[in-house]
Amino acid sequence: MIRHGFRVSLAMLSWVPVVATINQSVAYFTWVEGGSMKPSLNPDSSLHWRDLVFLWKFRQKEPGALKVGDVVVLRSPEQPDKILVKRILGVGGDKVLRRGDGPYPRPTCHVPTNHLWVEGDNIHSIDSNNFGPVSVGLVIGRATRILFPPSRFGPIPDGGREARIAIIRASKPDSAV
């Protein structure tokens, strides 16, 4: 009986590095805190439920892996111990129009290579309008699906605004943007 228990314990322990590697480099589940992504994530705070999302990490920092519209989990450029959930509105090479609020000094911004312009869907979010473009190196992963609560199970809803000046101009040719 003791031998069997030892074998089972050894087998279970052999999976610890595998699970740790998957959590660190491939995929992860994480709870979304706060209201910066309302209404796409955590839409009803009256129930005191938070959304649980599936986070895809594998090869997300490679060029072209992250696209406009993706929701990412990243480290705050101002407080690296703080984790943020934001939507990508511009990638390297894009020129974006800043939202009217926030202390970022210019009304437009050219997003440098290997950087992203990220914003929360909620206009009261602390995001690139406050701290400017963020390095792709701060991205932890891309949120792909809501897992909890069960009534919201499925892909992350579309949201946010269009911030890329080229797309805004193409949709409104008379615009002075």
Domains of the chain with CATH codes:
26-171 (2.10.109.10)
**How far apart are the C-alpha atoms of 71 and 159, rounded to whole Å?**
10
User: Per-residue pLDDT tens for 91-114?
Assistant: 999 999 998 767 778 899 999 999
Judged on CB neighbours under 10 Å (0-12, 13-18, 19+), 17 is exposed
User: Per-residue pLDDT tens for 39-78?
Assistant: 999 988 777 789 999 999 998 888 889 999 999 999 999 9
The H or E element containing residue 46 is none
- What angle do helix axes 16-25 and 2-14 make, rounded to 10 degrees? 20
**Residues 31-41, mean pLDDT to the nearest whole number:** 92
**How far apart are the C-alpha atoms of 143 and 156, rounded to whole Å?**
7
- Active-site residue set: 36, 86
